């Protein structure tokens, strides 16, 4: 349908980038990026006439269309970018697909597949992406790639680890000299934060973090940082615990990286930590979570480490106001198994406990809509957490007498 539409408008359309790479690797990829030779805004607006939600960026000749069911497709115009100086805002000229692909980061990301009816499925691969996938290597398109955009250092390490590719020799050499030359220092806090978020959103962030250490990336980004055995162990544990909790906390995915970032900083002295946090220019809410992760580990261990206590309801009361990312960090960072077990109990079970009776039931039992209902429900929850009330009958009996 996308292809038919392009054909009707006299444009050529291609799927490009990560999705083509992942098709060859047999990996799922839900991001659909399309490039048209023609005019992306005109292509997009033709969907608007069909009542679909479309947003268009005229200046960059790009935009997005949302299909029924919520599938989002990004559409760009094949274009050539001239970098006037490194890290500048690119100027946009309508031009050929080849130039569009040439401005991409790695050969394996610079392939396109035609989706027009007449040429459906034809692979466009000017730079040997298919060959490099076969050789399992990650290779830049030209020697200035990292200079043009130093975030590619972080992207490269992330893709290398996720896809099981190896940075090709010359690419690795260029990457190293970009790191050594201090180019990463020029990245804004915002871009750096976005890249770290992506790196620490991976299914297993540890290998990339280790590789960054090996290549000296951390040292350039956060001078004086120390990532030792405790930090590394915390990283690995975080990776192992993630799956257990992400489904319970729907908005957790966007903040999980804060737990990893805290692990990265946990062994460094206070002034280095603060400088690193400042470097990212975090919004206050995120900054608060990282500071809390690092500063309250001792208090958490003290509170939750007792041999016989605390009770489930005490664990719940202590952790309920903390962000799940902080709880996860503490569970992975502590060296004390009791503390870890209690936090994981909270994250997997206690946090979603509620009384079996609802407000409605209390009204039926004759409590009227009084403010007391909230307090009674809270009390029921506490008794249920501690296993004192086991079922609905217990709760009814408790409320009655």
Considering the complex, state which of residue 82 and residue 285 has its C-beta at the smaller distance from ligand ATP. Answer: 82
For the chain, count helices (H), then strands (E). 22, 11
Considering the complex, state which of residue 63 and residue 231 has its C-beta at the smaller distance from ligand ATP. Answer: 63
Tokens, residue 326: 């902080």
Tokens, residue 142: 């030209």
Rounded CA separation 223/275 (Å): 9
Tokens, residue 130: 């298919």
- Write down the least CB distance from residue 272 to ligand ATP, Å: 28
Total chain residues near ligand ATP (CB under 6 A):
12
Considering the complex, state which of residue 151 and residue 246 has its C-beta at the smaller distance from ligand ATP. Answer: 151
Residue 88 DSSP one-character state: P
Helix, coil or strand: residue 251: coil
- Write down the least CB distance from residue 89 to ligand ATP, Å: 14
Q: Residue from 46, 64, 119, 151 that binds ligand ATP (CB under 6 A)? A: 151
Stretch that binds ligand ATP, among 147-155, 220-228, 308-316, 337-345 (CB under 6 A): 147-155
| Position 171 contacts ligand ATP (CB under 6 A) | no
Q: Residue from 2, 11, 13, 17 that binds ligand ATP (CB under 6 A)? A: 17
Integer angstrom CA distances of residue 24 from 35, 106, 167, 221, 377: 19, 15, 18, 34, 54
| Cβ atoms within 10 Å of 23's Cβ, excluding its own | 14
Show the 3-state SS of 48-71: HCCCCEEEEECCCCEEEEECCCCC
- Write down the least CB distance from residue 205 to ligand ATP, Å: 13
| Cβ atoms within 10 Å of 67's Cβ, excluding its own | 14
- Write down the least CB distance from residue 98 to ligand ATP, Å: 14
Q: Residue from 2, 6, 13, 18 that binds ligand ATP (CB under 6 A)? A: 18
- Write down the least CB distance from residue 145 to ligand ATP, Å: 8
**Contacts with 275 (C-beta within 8 Å, 6 or more apart), sequence order:** 222, 223, 224
- Write down the least CB distance from residue 278 to ligand ATP, Å: 24
- Write down the least CB distance from residue 93 to ligand ATP, Å: 17
Q: Residue from 149, 168, 197, 323 that binds ligand ATP (CB under 6 A)? A: 149
Considering the complex, state which of residue 153 and residue 319 has its C-beta at the smaller distance from ligand ATP. Answer: 153
Binding mask 195-234 for ligand ATP (x = CB under 6 A): ----------------------------------------
Binding mask 101-130 for ligand ATP (x = CB under 6 A): ---xx---x---------------------
Which of 129, 198, 108, 207 has its CA nearest to residue 161?
207
Helix, coil or strand: residue 16: strand
Query: Hunting for tokens 């603060």 — which residue is that?
Result: 274
| Position 41 contacts ligand ATP (CB under 6 A) | no
| Position 152 contacts ligand ATP (CB under 6 A) | yes
Q: Which helix (H) or strand (E) holds 325?
A: helix 324-333
- Write down the least CB distance from residue 143 to ligand ATP, Å: 15
Q: Residue from 4, 8, 31, 349 that binds ligand ATP (CB under 6 A)? A: 31
Strand-pair partners of 34: 15, 75
Integer angstrom CA distances of residue 337 from 229, 262, 298, 342: 17, 20, 14, 9
Which residues here bind ligand ATP, judged by CB under 6 A? Answer: 17-18, 29, 31, 33, 104-105, 109, 149, 151-152, 155
């Amino acid at each position: 349908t996308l292809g038919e539409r392009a054909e009707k408008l006299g444009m050529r359309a291609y799927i490009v980038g990560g999705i083509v790479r992942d098709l060859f690797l047999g990996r799922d990829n839900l991001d659909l990026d399309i490039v048209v030779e023609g005019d992306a805004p005109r292509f997009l607006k033709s969907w608007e006439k069909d009542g679909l939600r479309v947003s268009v960026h005229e200046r960059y000749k790009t935009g997005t269309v949302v299909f029924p069911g919520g599938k989002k497709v990004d559409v760009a115009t094949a274009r050539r970018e001239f970098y006037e100086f490194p890290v500048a805002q690119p100027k946009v000229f309508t031009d050929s697909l080849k130039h569009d692909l040439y401005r991409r980061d790695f050969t394996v990301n610079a392939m396109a597949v035609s989706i027009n009816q007449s040429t459906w499925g034809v692979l466009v691969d000017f730079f040997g992406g298919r060959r490099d996938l076969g050789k399992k290597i990650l290779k830049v398109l030209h020697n200035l790639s990292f200079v043009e955009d130093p975030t590619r250092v972080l992207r490269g390490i992330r893709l290398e680890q996720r896809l099981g590719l190896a940075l090709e020799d010359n690419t690795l050499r260029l990457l190293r000299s970009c790191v050594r030359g201090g180019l990463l220092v020029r990245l804004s806090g915002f871009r750096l934060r976005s890249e770290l978020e992506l790196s620490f959103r991976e299914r297993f962030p540890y290998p990339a973090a280790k590789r960054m250490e090996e290549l000296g990336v951390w040292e350039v980004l956060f001078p004086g940082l120390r990532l030792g055995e405790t930090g590394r162990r915390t990283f690995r544990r975080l990776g192992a615990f993630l799956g257990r909790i992400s489904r319970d906390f729907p908005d957790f995915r966007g903040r999980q990286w804060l737990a990893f970032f805290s692990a990265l900083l946990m062994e460094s002295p206070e002034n280095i930590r603060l400088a690193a946090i400042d470097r990212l220019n975090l919004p206050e809410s995120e900054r608060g979570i990282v500071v809390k992760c690092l500063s309250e580990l001792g208090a958490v261990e003290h509170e939750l480490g007792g041999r016989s206590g605390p009770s489930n309801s005490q664990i719940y009361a202590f952790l309920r106001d903390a962000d799940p990312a902080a709880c996860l960090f503490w569970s992975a960072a502590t060296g004390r198994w009791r503390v870890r077990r209690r936090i994981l109990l909270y994250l997997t079970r206690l946090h979603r406990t509620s009384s079996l009776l609802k407000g409605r039931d209390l009204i039926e039992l004759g409590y009227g809509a009084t403010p007391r209902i909230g307090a009674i429900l809270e009390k029921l929850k506490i008794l249920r957490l501690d296993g004192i009330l086991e079922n609905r009958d217990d709760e009814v009996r408790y409320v009655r007498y």
